[in-house]
Amino acid sequence: MQRAVSVVARLGFRLQAIPPALCHPLSCAQEVLRRTPLYDFHLAHGGKMVAFAGWSLPVQYRDSHTDSHLHTRQHCSLFDVSHMLQTKILGSDRVKLMESLVVGDIAELRPNQGTLSLFTNEAGGILDDLIVTNTSEGHLYVVSNAGCWEKDLALMQDKVRELQNQGRDVGLEVLDNALLALQGPTAAQVLQAGVADDLRKLPFMTSAVMEVFGVSGCRVTRCGYTGEDGVEISVPVAGAVHLATALLKNPEVKLAGLAARDSLRLEAGLCLYGNDIDEHTTPVEGSLSWTLGTVTSGCPSPSLKKNVAMGYVPCEYSRPGTMLLVEVRRKQQMAVVSKMPFVPTNYYTLK
């Protein structure tokens, strides 16, 4: 059995911030890519567009990847994550439907409380990771990965039809909203200027519908993929560019792309589906401490100024502090098993 663990490389361990299989420059010969509502906005702000999970997204802007990463840690950055699949699960049997597909206890979620959960197959392998929120509006709000869009949607739709055929009250609606992530220690301060709600009453993994900088009908969820305090804002398409523009007027905010998103989530010890977890990984294996055996994700950490990675090793080598030899470009380098996360998280919770 292998256990998922984390490592900090001591010598010469150079890893790419974006997995080559998931991110590459655009070319005419490649597939037709989907565009988010902010595509032209990205180009106007110097976004370098790449292909990611079937979408054209900015990998970075005029600032370097490292500068963008560190700005997020010290101030806050705005990410376009509109490629994520957003769905509503409707009906009085919505919880029954979702609990038949995920490992989480959805029935125990309080109104407007969310949880990270997993779609799994019959063998216990992870089909995708997702966030499920029990909204006070009478539906479940689900956000899952763009790379798993088709299979996630088919999974949920098949279960809806199955339960409907049993006379159950369930339904599914795909949201075409844009999704913006404002991440960093000053994110709440920036957002507070544009909302009437008191964000001090919105702790980590809770959400509320509110008007944001004049755009009504936005769902603001206190969560993110960087380890920092921040929010994800589901915003009607017509208001997406207005909202992004309003946020950028604050000098605390800079645009950030996929490169910074990947190194930030790796420092925070957050898995990337398809790299660190997949259908051959069980939830138990995927939730244990991280290090190298097989490298699944890795990059130079701008915050630590060291190289970090996630991966798998046999259980007997998974204890923190264990020294390992890692093969990098046919050369062996020293690394050490580390506890996760590499950089402490700074989520906002009620004291």
Q: Given pLDDT bands bounded at 50, 70 and 90, which one contains residue 167?
A: very high
Specify whether the CB–CB gap between 134 and 97 falls below 8 A. no
Interval 171-206: pLDDT, tens: 999 999 999 999 999 999 999 999 999 999 999 999
Annotated binding site for substrate: 232
For residue 147, which of 23, 239, 256, 253 has the smallest C-alpha distance? 23
> Domain 34-83+179-202+238-268 adopts which CATH fold?
Gyrase A; domain 2 (3.30.1360)
* Residue 241: Cβ-neighbour burial (10 angstroms; 0-12, 13-18, 19+): middle
Interval 334-346: pLDDT, tens: 788 888 888 898 9
Interval 13-61: pLDDT, tens: 333 334 434 444 444 345 799 999 999 999 999 999 999 999 999 999 9
Following DSSP, what letter does each residue of 103-152 receive, concatenated? SS-GGGPPTTEEEEEEEE-TTS-EEEEEEEEE-TTSSEEEEE-GGGHHHH
The CB-based long-range contact list for 115-118 (8 Å cut-off, 24+ gap) reads 115/205, 116/205, 118/283
Provide CATH 3.30.1360.120 ranges for the chain.
34-83+179-202+238-268
Annotated binding site: 232
Give the chain's end-to-end CA distance (angstroms, integer).
Answer: 40
Matching CATH number, 293-337, of 1.10.600.10, 2.40.50.100, 2.40.30.110, 3.40.50.1100: 2.40.30.110
Interval 258-316: pLDDT, tens: 999 999 999 998 989 888 888 887 765 554 332 237 778 888 899 998 888 888 777 77
> Residue 205 CA to chain centroid, in angstroms?
13
Q: What's this model's pTM, rounded to 2 decimal places?
A: 0.82
Q: How many Å apart are CA 205 and CA 217, to the nearest integer?
A: 19
Provide CATH 2.40.30.110 ranges for the chain.
293-337
